[in-house]
Amino acid sequence: MKNCYLGVDIGSISTKGVIIDEDNNVITSSYIWTEGNPVHAVKKLLNILKEKLPNNYQLKGIGTTGSARKLIGLMLKANIVKNEITAHAIGTLNFYPNIRTILEIGGQDSKIILIKNGIITNYAMNTLCAAGTGSFLSSQAKRLGVKVEEFGDYALKSKNPVKIAARCTVFAESDLVHKAGVGYLKEDIIAGLCKSVVLNYLNNIGKGKKIIGPIIFQGGVSKNKGVVKYFKEVLKEDIIVDPNGHLMGAIGIAILAKRNKTGHNYSLEINNLKFVTKAFECNKCPNVCEILKIYRNDELVDSWGSKCGKY
């Protein structure tokens, strides 16, 4: 039997899973929508990966990253749980050891990671606002009656991209409706949206950061040719877009699971696993904490939210 390692990246919009071998080669992978239920999404993900994994591999480690990493880490008994910054950096450096800057725009978040000599020197993530992320582009695509997958092709046709105020989703939508109403071409509006995403990212996430090449662009939005084009134009640098860029977080956490291996065997079979969370307010003191209790097969495995340590 050959050893393999699972990395799961659970985001607010999508859930990614990757299984690698001892040499960090990707054996199989999958990308599905989270649909507001990370537990259900991970069960579905593991069933897909299980079908794709050859029989001569034994799972020896599991790592989780992303917004629901702690919850899913408990569910899968992961041997390592790490933040997205670390996971993306590790995954990227595995393929591009000389990379200096990682630009990443996902469904509802975006981040920048600066690296020197293989070490993270600085990073930043967006705030609660999702302006300029994948969900922002998806909502504008629906408004314009265009598939978001076709945004890049439309943007490349434009010869006169219009200015769109994308610093705030509310202002951007208002501006877009106005521009469409006065007769601007659809491709010019879409190109303007793509360019505004780039400017919004650099003015907020990249503010005060010295962006040095080689530069790699990751996340679902990296599939948008229009956004890639304007990153190149504004930064005056070549931009690397890896075909597996949307999986880098999962690849990185799988590599960390391999480095942190315990010698235990793990299983992708979790269909019979009963994993539930129960929330309640504790009124025992003025804190009135919202407590979340987590049960795995009816066994209490953890509780979160207690400020006084009672739970």
Tens-place pLDDT, residues 5-46: 999 999 888 899 999 999 999 999 999 988 888 999 999 999
> DSSP string spanning 177-236?
HHHHHTT--HHHHHHHHHHHHHHHHHHHTTTT----SSEEEESGGGG-HHHHHHHHHHHT
Check: CB of residue 213 under 8 Å from CB of residue 101. yes
Identify the structural domains of the chain with CATH numbers, from first to last. 2-91+250-259 (3.30.420.40), 97-241 (3.30.420.40), 275-304 (no CATH)
Q: What is the β-pairing status of strands 80-81 and 57-66?
A: parallel
Whole-number Å distance between alpha carbons of 103 and 222: 9
Question: What count of residues does the chain have?
Answer: 311
Q: Beta-carbon neighbour count of residue 160 at 10 Å?
A: 10
* Contact yes or no for 282/259 (Cβ under 8 A): no
Q: Mean pLDDT check: name the lowest of 16-30, 139-153, 284-298.
A: 139-153
Q: 17 with 43: CB under 8 angstroms?
A: no
Q: Among 195, 183, 182, which Cα is nearest to 154's?
A: 195
Q: pLDDT tens digits for 82-135?
A: 999 999 999 999 999 999 999 998 877 889 999 999 999 999 987 656 666 777
